[in-house]
Amino acid sequence: MIKRFVIALTLCAVGATTYLSPALAARPAASVELVGAGSTFDLPFFTKAFQVYCNRNQVCVNYQAIGSGAGIEQFTAKTVDFGASDVPMNPATELPAARKAGGPVLQIPIALGGVAIAYNIPGVKRGLHLTGSVIANIYLGITKYWDARPIKKLNPKIKLPHLKIVPAYRSDASGTSYIFTSYLADVSNPWQGNVGVGKLPAWPAGVGGKGNPGVAAIVQQTPGAIGYVELAYVLQNKMKDAMLQNRAGQWQFPTQLTVAAAAAQFKHVTPTSFSIVDAKGKKSYPICGYSWVLMFKHQTDATKGKALKKLMQWMVSTGQKYAGTLDYVPLPANIQKLAQSYLKTVTT
């Protein structure tokens, strides 16, 4: 499965179709072709949903999974019809630049998912216990071996090898990195003071990979590796992932239920108040986030604009059932309502 997503990411980067399944290769002739770019976090969901919509409506999408940062750049340059990012645009620089290029910008919640901590430790099964502070120290380069005392203390019944830890991180500007570093900054003062939060932070230790597929591949192929990977990639590729201690002191795997429990703690999510990491609640998984579609409020191409508006209205409502089949969490009803309210303002 991991090869599938790596291939899809490579093809998208050069402008080919998102995912060359037999069904998509035989798709009907499109009446409208749309182009999007950005988040790899969304790729499994977008691949399926766009394929279904294309087959039913002859409105087809070439989605380039190039990372949130690059997607924002392409959107601002107006080389794509929409962008996708796992963190809303920076209000100090990115948003003003986009507004200057194309007028008012809409940022619409499109997907909800968890970020799993995957690892490759020979002989160790799924369910290693890790805390946020231990993960931060691994990525700070302080905790270097899997049998280090802080990890052994959390896992007294597991025989951990004296194996060097290889932290894997995103080498591209990434909304998934933003979600992950936001969590680390919440739970670790040393992380907050030394690295902070960002789409492309200065990683103190580790090896970089492009996109969620790149990080997943490093973890799968490197004994001793650990990485933060969108939940759908981890579950679909049967990777081993950790149980994290949440804010209530409970140990939780990332699942649709624990991600939904975290999201339920935040009733009012907007492009300016969007973080849902380190949520309260015994059942909450602590590393979760929304992904966002970026659109210009006024669409200068009437045909494409109307098609894009209808597509996104479908994506945030009926299309969410496909998110649920791919290990994302369907958008909560209040977030679907918020998304639809934004989309109603689109003009052509």
Phi, psi of 100 (to 5 degrees): -65, -35
Assign domain 2-113+290-343 to a CATH class. alpha beta
The predicted-structure confidence for 203-224, as pLDDT tens digits, reads as follows: 999 999 999 999 999 999 999 9
- Which pairing describes strands 82-85 and 105-119: parallel, antiparallel, or unpaired? unpaired
CB-based burial of residue 162 (10 Å sphere; 0-12 exposed, 13-18 middle, 19+ buried)? exposed
Cα(309)–Cα(82) distance, integer angstroms: 11
CA of 160: how far to CAs of 222, 325, 333, 341, in Å?
Answer: 16, 35, 43, 51
DSSP 249: S
Helix axes 211-221, 2-13, angle to 10 degrees: 140
pLDDT at 28: 61
Q: Where are the beta strands (DSSP E) in 194-335?
A: 207-209, 225-230, 240-241, 243-245, 251-252, 288-296
Structure tokens at 88: 């809303």
Token pair for 115: 């970020």
Crossing angle, helix 302-315 and helix 333-343, to 10 degrees? 170
Query: Whole-angstrom Cα distance, residue 24 to residue 46?
Result: 13
User: How is the chain split into domains, by residue range?
Assistant: 2-113+290-343, 114-288
CA atoms within 13 A on the CB side of 289: 30
CA torsion through residues 206, 210, 216, 217, sign: negative
> How many CA atoms within 13 Å lie on the side-chain side of 202?
4
Structure tokens at 303: 């045909």
Q: Which stretches of the chain drop beneath a pLDDT of 70?
A: 1-28
Q: Do domains 2-113+290-343 and 114-288 have the same CATH topology?
A: yes
The predicted structure's pLDDT at residue 7: 29
Q: Does domain 114-288 have CATH number 3.40.190.10?
A: yes
Alpha-carbon dihedral angle through residues 246, 260, 177, 323, given to the nearest 10 degrees: 150
